[in-house]
Amino acid sequence: MGKRKAKAKVKPKRRAPPLDTTFTCLFCNHEKSVSCSLDKQSGVGNLHCKICGQSHQCLITALSAPIDVYSDWIDACDAVANQAKEVDNINDQEAYSPEAAYEEEKE
């Protein structure tokens, strides 16, 4: 008769470190100055910078975390910046259009 097989010890699972709720501000670049709060009952996430006073508010779900609100803020800032670039490009094209210059030379 053979020996019984030894049972392997179960290793405890590592706990995931808690996610941050304070972040770096996009406008004033201070670290850990943006605090995030989630109101899951009303479905609203809020961000507020303690230094420069910038704030952002967005809709959240039951699975949302503070990093989701922060990433939504980053996306919103990028969208505004891209929109401003498009408006500037359109204004530049209208101001320096070859047709307008040709019409001015005719007159």
From the annotation, which residues make up the binding site for Zn(2+)? 25, 28, 49, 52
The answer on pLDDT for 71 being more than 70 is yes
From the annotation, which residues make up the binding site? 25, 28, 49, 52
DSSP string, 23-85: E--TTT--TT-EEEEEETTTTEEEEEETTT--EEEEE--TT--HHHHHHHHHHHHHHHHHHHH
The answer on pLDDT for 4 being more than 90 is no
Domain assignment present for residue 9? The answer is no
Domain assignment present for residue 40? The answer is yes
**CB count in 10 Å sphere of residue 87:** 10
CATH number assigned to the domain comprising residue 64: 2.20.25.190
Domain assignment present for residue 16? The answer is no
Domain assignment present for residue 73? The answer is yes
- pLDDT tens digits along 9-21: 888 899 988 888 8
Look at residue 23 in the predicted model and tell me its pLDDT.
94
pTM summary value: 0.70
- What is the DSSP secondary structure assignment for residue 96, as one 8-state letter? T
Beta bridge partners of 23: 34
Number of domains making up the chain = 1
- What is the DSSP secondary structure assignment for residue 21, as one 8-state letter? S
- pLDDT tens digits along 33-68: 999 999 999 999 999 999 999 999 999 999 999 999
Domain assignment present for residue 36? The answer is yes
Domain assignment present for residue 49? The answer is yes
Domain assignment present for residue 107? The answer is no
Domain that holds residue 35: 22-97
